[in-house]
Amino acid sequence: MPIISSFYGILIYIYRELNGSHHTPHFHAKYSEFEGVYDMD
C-alpha cells in the first residue's frame, strides 16, 4: 500500500486490488492511532 501524501503527521494511503474488484474508489488517512476511510464518489 503506497503512501501518496504525507503532511503534519497525516499519511494518505491508496489501496488497489490485484485480483477481482474492490469497493468504490477510496483512500485511507492515518494519524497516530486514528484512521479514516474516504470514498471518492
Question: pLDDT per residue over 1-41, tens digit each?
Answer: 678 899 999 999 987 666 666 667 788 999 999 999 888 76
Full-model pTM: 0.65
pLDDT at site 3: 86
Domain extents for the chain?
Answer: 3-39
pLDDT at site 20: 61
In this structure, are residues 38 and 29 in contact, taking their beta carbons and an 8 Å threshold?
A: yes
